[in-house]
Amino acid sequence: MTDNRITVTRKTKESTMVVVFGRGERDATLKQRLNTTLPFFNHMLEHVVWRGELTMAVDVQLDAYHLVHVITEDTGIAFGKAVKEWVDRYASRGIVGYGSAYGVIDEALARAVLSFESRAYLAFDRNQVKLPEQMEGMQSEDLVAFFEGFVQGAQCTLHLDLLKGREGHGHHIWESAFRAFGMALYESLSERAWRKGMTAGVAGAIHYEIDHS
């Protein structure tokens, strides 16, 4: 880990995920560095990076079985772990730790609310928005799995609400959701001197004592 980059490698018998995460100058090679093997998923991650003003690279290696759910969820877990490491690392600078944002593109509108309080919880509400089962060769449920993985890795609370969207325009619905998430992440990771050494919640950092006797 360097001052502006964190690399997380997650290995299982099914996959190896390498996520490089940071903040700083825009990476002109972003598109080439998002290698999840899923073009539409790469595009969604690009929205997160673009709206979150982040730097990010993803490399996915799979065993013989190309399981989309594994790719999206495990990428989310590794990405979330990198973000949690960032929040913990720079708490002494004053990380805000929470944020909310609306993402919009044309007729589609979504809202994301984040809080980093060591509580892994995802609330994904479609409201009356009709999501297609499939989108650009992916199942919509596999895109939800990314957010499920993220909250596990980041140990954060995420409420993601689809507010508006037109049937048959699933691409825009998902773009609005990932844009909202990226902007909420930007606000959450912003530095504020007043919050030096503080956490997002008043309970502060969590410490456990385990007795194995």
**Is residue 202 assigned to a domain?**
no
Number of domains in the chain: 1
Domain range for 125: 5-195
Neighbours of 136 (CB within 10 A): 14
Instruction: In whole angstroms, give the CA distance from residue 21 to residue 45.
Output: 12
Instruction: In whole angstroms, give the CA distance from residue 126 to residue 162.
Output: 5
**Is residue 95 assigned to a domain?**
yes
**Is residue 212 assigned to a domain?**
no
**Is residue 186 assigned to a domain?**
yes
**Is residue 211 assigned to a domain?**
no
Q: What is the pLDDT of residues 161-188, one digit of tens each?
A: 999 999 989 999 999 999 999 999 999 9
**Is residue 204 assigned to a domain?**
no
CA torsion, points 178, 80, 190, 163, in degrees to nearest 10? 30
Which residues, 6 or more positions from 68, have their beta carbon under 8 angstroms from its beta carbon?
38, 138, 139, 142
For residue 50, the domain's CATH number is: 3.30.230.40
Rounded to the nearest 5 degrees, what angle is found at the Cα of 200, between the Cα atoms of 202 and 79? 145
SS3 54: strand
Most confident of 104-113, 130-139, 200-209: 104-113
Percent of the chain clearing pLDDT 90 (strictly above): 77
**Is residue 80 assigned to a domain?**
yes
Chain-centroid distance, C-alpha 139: 18
pTM of the model: 0.92
**Is residue 210 assigned to a domain?**
no
* Mean pLDDT over the full length of the chain: 92
SS3 58: strand
Which residues, 6 or more positions from 71, have their beta carbon under 8 angstroms from its beta carbon?
15, 36, 37, 38, 41, 60, 62, 142
